Amino acid sequence: MALTILQQIEETVKAIRLKYAASPKVGIVLGSGLGNLTSEITIEKEIAYTDIPHFPVSTVEGHGGKLIFGTLSGQQVVILSGRFHYYEGYTPAQVVFPIRVLKFLGVDTLLLSNAAGGMNAGFRVGDLMIINDHISMFIVNPLLGKNDSELGPRFPDMSEPYDKALIKAAKGVAAGLGIPVHEGVYAGVTGPTFETRAEYRLLHIAGGDAVGMSTVQEVIAARHMGVSVFAISVITDLGIREEENIITHEEVLQAAAAAEPKLTALFKGIIAGL
Ligand code: HPA
């Protein structure tokens, strides 16, 4: 018989435990072109996804594909270096599988970053937006199907997916570092097409300040399990400009790389204060 998700998680955790025994409480997922934080870690153990049972393998340019354990800003952390997107063809359950594994490894706080298209007229390329809420109606909910109550409740509350205390702490760190940050709503989409102009307008009218192809499924799975979440977008392009506006993956990666030092400094400060 096929293994349940919980049985898969248990097998995976067991396999990881054979290679690394400590239990970091902080998990980190980095977005496209935003992987440099890993170079700041004092690495204790790296495990390639290909060596982890039941882990999908990352296919996207700009993504690594390994689990990194170590210390950062004085805290034990685990980084998912390389994330899985629905648009790559993974099922929603596969996309969130590593997040579930993190929880069962002991993670109770998850920090995520992503590259996103700006829709708020006040945003510029390179800006940072702390996510204070999201819109999940345009993605596929990873909790569809039979619920495993050992993971979380059938009907999880989503009134506050992004932890208010973490947002407050992040704003304090940003102010201290002199890094300007916006706060806003992240509209999740499946991709892989960037939005049409009409779609950007729709998502903006619907309440989105930024739009992107990751994060929301991971956040839903994390909140299902009671993990506290902080997430931040780097605005890599602007979706609502009326002039010529062709968005490319290269442009997104370039803008992400340019903004990355700010993000790295912010994450380090947040982690130091946890
Ligand atoms: N739309 C969707 N996803 C994105 C974008 C965008 O404009 N930029 C970076 N990821």
Predicted local distance difference test score (pLDDT) of residue 119: 95
Compare 39 and 244 and report the one with higher pLDDT. Answer: 39
Measured in Å, residue 187 CA sits from the centre of ligand 1 at 10
Probe residue for ligand 1, chosen from 113, 195, 248 as the CB with the greatest number of ligand atoms within 8 Å: 195
Q: What is the pTM of this model?
A: 0.94
Mean pLDDT, rounded, of the chain? 92
Q: 234 alpha carbon to ligand 1 midpoint, in Å? A: 10
Q: What are phi and psi of 228, to 5 degrees?
A: -75, 140
Q: Phi and psi (nearest 5°) for 42? A: -85, 105
64-98, pLDDT tens digit by residue? Answer: 589 999 999 999 999 998 889 999 999 999 999 99
Q: What is the pLDDT of residues 163-219, one digit of tens each?
A: 999 999 999 999 999 999 999 999 999 999 999 999 999 999 999 999 999 999 999
Domains recognised in the chain with CATH numbers: 24-141+172-272 (3.40.50.1580)
Ligand 1 midpoint to CA 69 (Å): 29
Contact 58, 47 (CB under 8 A): no
Ligand 1 contacts (CB < 6 A) are: 115-117, 189, 191, 194-195, 211-213, 236-237, 239, 247, 252
